[in-house]
Structure formats: structure tokens, C-alpha cells
Amino acid sequence: MKAIKWALIVCGVLIVLVIAALIIVPQFVDIQKYKPQLERKVTEATGRPFTLGGDFDLSLFPWAGISFSDLHLGNPEGFEEKDFVSIESFEVRVKLLPLITRDIQVKRFMVEGARIVLETGKDGRTSWEGLGPPPAEAKEGVKEKKAEGEKAGGLPIKDFILGELAITKGSVLWLDHTKGERREITDLTIRLEDVSLDKPITLFVSSLVDKNPVSLEGTIGPVGKDPGKGIIPLDLKAQALEEIALALSGIITSPAEKPQFDLTIAVSPFSPKKLMERLDLPFPVKTKDPKVIEKVSFKAGMKGTPDAVSVSKGTLVLDDSTLNFSAGIKELDKPNITFDLALDGIDLDRYLPPPENGGDKKEAEAKPSGREKTDYTPLRKLVLDGAATIGNLKISNARIQNLSIKCTGRNGVFTLEPATLDLYGGSAAIKGLLNVKEDTPKTNVDITTDGIQVNPFLRDVMDKDFLEGTVKADLALQMSGDNAEVIKKSLSGGGELLFNDGAIKGIDLAGMVRNAKAAFGLAETGGEKPRTDFSELRVPFTAAKGVVSTQETKLTSPLIRVTAKGDADIPKETLDFRIEPKFVTTLKGQGDMADRSGITVPVLVTGTFSSPKFAPDLKSLLKQGLEGKLPKPEDIKETLQKSLEGETKSLEEGAKDLMKGLFKSQ
């Protein structure tokens, strides 16, 4: 018992002596005389000037603390700013005895007037170069710390209490002399109060970014007795430049071991253009309509790990369009992406770049492309499975409804399942395949349409008014290459276009026949636009090496039948067709496919896509006349008489009306 008693006495005396030393030593030791040595050591370690202009104080009991003022860590020579880091005052107070039991109790951590300058000189050097250990040593240090952390099994503390943390009057200056840029964060304030491991941490951050206010506030935690493990709740709100407000809530699980997150992100409606204006930055996107990208909002739930991320219940609002979406990505080294998108409607033409002026376009065409060869390796690794729907879509001035798309992709082969859409009173289905297994991509496209009104479609898309009727199409096309010129030259395949109850506007094939028969008194003049009415126009075609050919295009119309054959050279955009109309002895229209005898007056179509030329083949007409193939006037009279049988009109009046109907000219 005596031994224990004396041991306790000795321990008590030692404790008293230690406490006395901690209290008395700082009172008798002049810590200020060590400032020059400290300044010299820091200068040698950093290679930069270092000074402590104000007082330097040290206390050991009951709070171990250090405080100083007027700290300056300079920049190397050659930089505009003298200081890299400067601090007006600093103070920290930590309770000493609880450290023995791994309890950290910080009474105060105060930094006032901290300023950091990040400067890039005209020669490309940066003011932060040369700080810290060399990269190799830094990597080894990280490995050692990681190994120590794994061995220790977590943060080696039992508790952590912080009474007050305050960083005030802070600033960060960014200077880039190579680009002539200057950005500054001023009035930076960071406050944490009553921080502990078992309570939520209240956070407040505010600053001015180029004189525009930015703030962040909310709660984090509690982080738990074993920080880095377990569940950490978040509830944060940020505001920036009086334009954008963001809310982030949810949980982060085991960030130090197997990090996972389950978060909800919400961005209130804001104007990206006004946001960039406040930052004094040019808006990076130019659009045809300057009034777009004025309102954006976003909300989504996000879950994930370092290996996979998923987004659910996502909503993106852009101007007057709303996109609901979900998506996921996993196996990031060979990304496996899934998505499901539903857009109510959008006018994409408003978001396209404004048209270039003629000079810029010609200059661009004159210059060689110099385009680097595309690397399709990332696409060969990609796994894709997605679907999208759009209620109303306007693109290239075409108006589309009820668009539904499903696409899949694996090992460099991407398939578009039948994409369905409605447009201009009809419907269409599109199947496609893109193969990038080789360096030259190959594409197959199958298109079927039914009931599409041709005239409004052509007016909207091409600003052309040359064809009327409804179209039914069945096309199968193949192409290869990754630029427009190569793709045009590789076009192959075939199909058929069937137009019903329409007209070809701008050309009067019957009128051409009539002009050739002026001797029969059938020529009429008028002021209306020329047109060729038809009940059916069938265009079968084949394509090879960019040249589209047809050998038996047929047009069926009362008193006229038309056949056509020829080529359209897609790369050269030229036409070479021969059209043979026949003035026949029947008024039967749609469904009459029989060949009829009559006048054959070939029409030649040449020129370009943008400027086609039509002209009668006078040489062929003359040949027919010499061979006696022109009908006799009495045959035409008999035909007209039969057509008007049962009507009260005279033959003369009926003939006149019929000719006007058949051979409208303008």
C-alpha cells in the first residue's frame, strides 16, 4: 500500500511540475527572438521570401495556442504580385490534456485577412510552381499515409470538438497574363460553430466573385465517432450571383472506405445568359434565335459509387421545353450507358448556330479541311441501350410529332430499332445500323412512309413549291464514310416512291405536247403557274456510287401518260433525265397502267438540283412527225365527243373546257 501511495504522490508531483512548466516557461522564454530563425527556415524550404511582421505568441496551458500577424510568403522573381500568400492575423487554441486520450478540443481557429494570389506569367510560369515535395515523393507519401490509415483502421481520434472556426476578409486573386484574364474572390467568409462528431455541423460560406455575391449554407453530418465510415447526411443550399440557387440533400456513405452517395440535386430556374453577363464573360453558344437559353432549371435524384452512377426522376426545363429522364452508367473503362428520355417538344432550329455570311462560307470551302482521322475506339467499347420520345419536334423547319426512338449498341455496332414518327398528315418508320468496327464507318438505313403530304413538307424543309400529293415510300440505302463528300459517293441501294393525287408544279408536260400540236388549234395561253396534274406517280430507283437511277418512272393522268428514265448524280448535284409524255385517247386516270397510243413528245431535264432545266426534245418530235405518228384532227374530235357524251354543252364549248383542264398554262 505504501508503494502505491508513494507512486501516486510522485505522479501528482510530476503532473504539477509539468503544468507549472507549461504555464511558467512561456512567461520567461522570449519567443520573439526565434522569429528570424523561423523566417530563415521557411525561406530555405520554399525558396521564397517569408516574413512575420507582427507579434508571434505561444501558450501551452490550459490551451496550447499559437498566434501571429502580418505573415507574408512571397512570389519568385518575375511575377507582378509581390506576395503569394499573406495573412493579417492567425490564432488557434487547442486544449492540451485531452490530446493524451485522443480527444481533440479546439477552442478557436481564426484567420483574418488571408489573401492568395494565383498568377500565370507571360512566359507561362505559375506562382504556385515549386511548392510541396517533388511529385515522386508526394506519391510515396500518399501511399504511406494510405497504408497507415488502413493499418490504423480509421481516423485515430476518439472525439473532436471545435468551438469556433472563422475565416474572414479572405480573398483569392487569379491573374493570367497569357490570356489577359483577371478574376477575384473577395470578402470570403467561412464560419463553423459548435462542431462535434455526434452533431450536425452548421456551415456558412459567403464571398464576392468579381463583385458578385456567392453563398453556401446548411448542415453536414453528424459524421459519427469514426469519421469516414457510416452515413453522413447533407443538406446544403447555394446561391450565386443573385441568379442561380442550388439545393443538395441526401447522404454519403463510408467516404473513406467504399464511398456511396444518394443525393437529390435541384437547380431553381435561372438565365444562363444573365449568369455569364454577371461574370463578365461572353456566352459560349451563338444561336439563330437570340431569345433562347433564357430559362433553365434542373432536378434529379442521383445514386452511385466510384464504379457506377444512376440518375432517376430527372427533369430538365429549357425555355418552354421539358425533358423527363433517367439514365445510368457503369463499368466506366468500357462505359455501359442506359437512358430513357421523354421530351414534350422543342424547336431545334432556334438553337442552331446563326447562318454564316457568304464570304465566310466561301472561305471555308476554299480551305482544305485538314480534318484528322476519327478515332472510333471509344465507340467500340461503348455499350448502349436507350429510348427517347418527343411529342413535337421542329428541325430543319420540318415539323414532326410523336417521335419514338430506341437504340442499342455493342462492340462497335449500333442499331436504331424502328423509329416511328408522324408528320404532315402521314407517318414514317426508320431502321438504321451504324458499324464502326473498322476505321471507315458503314451505315444502313431503311425508311418507310405512308400518307405524307408532300407540298407542305417541301415548302417547310426546302422552301420549294414544285410537287403536290401524298407519298408512300419504301427505301433501303447503304453508305460508308465519315464526311459528307465520301458518304455521297458511296450511296447505294434502292426503293420506290409512290405519289398519289398530286401535281408537278412549274412545268406543264401536257402544255409541251400542246405546243407541239399547235397546228390542230389546241394551243391556249394563260397567266397561271404551269403544272402537270397526276393521279399517280411511281418512282422506282436504284443507287450506286452516289448516282441515283430510274428506268421506269411512270406518271398517270387523264389524257396523258408520262414515263421517265435517267440519273441524278448526288455528289455533283446534277440531273440527266428524259421524260416521255403521251397524249392518249382515254380519260381514265388512276389505276390505268396500260400503255396507250398517242403523241410522244420527250422532255429533257438537265441542270442542277438547285436550278433544274426543262426543254422539249425537238429532234425526237421532228422524227415522229416525219414518221407520221401524229394523230389526225378527227381522232381528237371523236375522243372529245365521247368524253362529253350525255352533257348539255356543245362540242365546241366542251372541247374548250376540257383543254383548259388538261393543259393549264401560265
Q: What is the pLDDT of residues 454-500, one digit of tens each?
A: 999 989 988 888 889 999 999 999 999 888 889 999 999 999 999 99
Q: According to the model, what pLDDT value does residue 315 have?
A: 96
Enter the C-alpha cell of residue 334: 468500357
Q: Which residue has the cell 464560419?
A: 191
Q: According to the model, what pLDDT value does residue 439 have?
A: 87
Over residues 298-309, mean pLDDT = 92
Q: Tens digits of per-residue pLDDT, 404-440? A: 999 999 999 999 988 999 999 999 999 999 999 988 9
The distance of Cα 570 from the centroid of its chain, to the nearest Å, equals: 30
Using DSSP's 3-state secondary structure scheme, residue 626 falls into: helix
Q: Is 35 or 268 the better-scoring residue by pLDDT?
A: 268
> Among the residues of 382-521, which ranges form H helices?
454-462, 484-490, 509-516
What does DSSP say about strands 321-330 and 336-347: parallel, antiparallel, or unpaired?
A: antiparallel
CA–CA–CA angle 173, 177, 180 (5° rounding): 90
Q: Tens digits of per-residue pLDDT, 50-90? A: 888 777 776 665 666 778 888 888 888 888 888 899 988 88
- Tell me how crowded residue 605 is: count the other CB atoms within 10 A of its CB: 17
- Residue 547: what residue type? V
Enter the C-alpha cell of residue 569: 448524280
Indicate the pLDDT class of residue 583, thresholds 50, 70 and 90: low
Q: Tens digits of per-residue pLDDT, 503-562? A: 888 776 666 555 544 333 334 445 566 777 888 889 999 999 999 999 989 988 776 788
Q: Tens digits of per-residue pLDDT, 221-246? A: 787 777 777 888 999 999 988 888 99
To the nearest 10°, the Cα dihedral for 464, 466, 471, 475?
Answer: -70
pTM as predicted: 0.70
Q: What does the mean pLDDT of the chain come to?
A: 77
Enter the C-alpha cell of residue 123: 512566359
Q: According to the model, what pLDDT value does residue 240 have?
A: 86
Cβ atoms of 75 and 81 within 8 Å: the answer is yes
CA dist 103 and 167 (Å) reads 24
Q: According to the model, what pLDDT value does residue 610 have?
A: 78
Q: According to the model, what pLDDT value does residue 135 have?
A: 53
Q: According to the model, what pLDDT value does residue 157 have?
A: 59
